[in-house]
Amino acid sequence: MHDRDDREGWPQMDYPCEWGYRVIAGQESHIRLAVQQAFGGHPVRLGEVRRSTGGRWCSMSVDTTVQSDEERLTFFEKLRHAAGIRLVL
């Protein structure tokens, strides 16, 4: 399936496709809970936890297959609004 994107400068994407998010939070537990809440039973692959030198931040990659632009953005918004999450890339 091909999602047509008329926004100038935005790439057109073919779905389904692999998509990755980088989630940054103060604690690993916040990331794990946010992933569970955002994705439910949708299969994801979690990367290794990376911690800042001072230990104030940690990040984790979250990879999955998305079926549409809407699904990709919905996961992003759910992660972004989850408690304890500082940033989602």
For residue range 17-57, what is the model confidence (pLDDT) as tens digits?
Answer: 999 999 999 999 999 999 999 999 999 999 999 999 999 99
| Domain locations along the chain | 27-88
The reported pTM is 0.87
12: pLDDT confidence band, cut at 50, 70 and 90? Answer: confident
Distance CA 27, CA 37 (A): 16
Angle between helices 69-80 and 28-39 (to 10 degrees): 140
CA distance 50 to 48: 6
